[in-house]
Structure 1
Amino acid sequence: MPHCVILYTPNVDAMTDMGGLCRSLADAMLTVLDEAGKQVFPTGGTRVLAYPAAHYAVADGKGDYAFVYVNVRMGTGRSDAVKQKAGDTLLEVVKKHFAQVFDQNLIGITVQVDESPGQVYDAKHSTLHPLFNK
């Protein structure tokens, strides 16, 4: 179930390597462990997808402002400490990735971790999970 979706203003593409950010976030997600030392985000279910906005408006529109929204959705049942750790881990990856961008551009970044509450239906069919569940 772990998904990380990045929505961003298309001007960000000229500022940084979004594919590289996706890989860095996926790698970081795989390092997050719960209190029992178990991997929080299963390898076969970890996905990071990035989408530039087709249309956007940021702030007062008087500059070429940029914005990046990173949303991680995880299944229910994790402790608040684990959710905090996941968010902090991913925020550090994002901050490191955008360090030089912040020095040269006006950009806002939000990292948000959501829990998938009250799922009514959640079906999966994958050949990825068996590959990593050996």
Structure 2
Amino acid sequence: MGRLFQVTLDGKIYSCRHCKAHLALSDDIVSKAFQCKHGKAYLFSKVVNVTVGAKEDRLMMTGLHTVADIYCVKCGSIVGWTYETAHDRSQKYKEGKSVLERFKLDGPDGSNYYWVSHEAHIGGSDQDDV
């Protein structure tokens, strides 16, 4: 296996809670109104140090989307998903953007989100039906 190269970010950084690899900048948050099966999640315009899994169609609260899970390049933990295609015209703004699950991140202020919200299945912008 080859050498692992990682991007180092400057500023307010969100990082992998397991290995502390940099994943995104606070300035790249598009929305904090997302939900996943483990609680809150953030939509980012740009993420780094991730690998992309296989594409699949998922029926989410906002309709059908073609998405791919994203994994931390350093430790391999799943950290969220990326939107490949939004099948509803009103959701096209998500294409090419990625969602990072809060409980899998360390925040820019050093906070972590290890707890799992009991409100995770009540609603929100997007949620897996799995």
Do Structure 1 and Structure 2 share a fold, with TM-score over 0.5? no
User: TM-score, normalized by length of structure 1?
Assistant: 0.23
Structure showing the higher strand proportion among its residues: 2
Normalised by the length of structure 2, the TM-score is 0.24
Structure with bigger RCO (C-alpha 8 Å, 6+ apart): 1
Structure index of larger Rg = 1
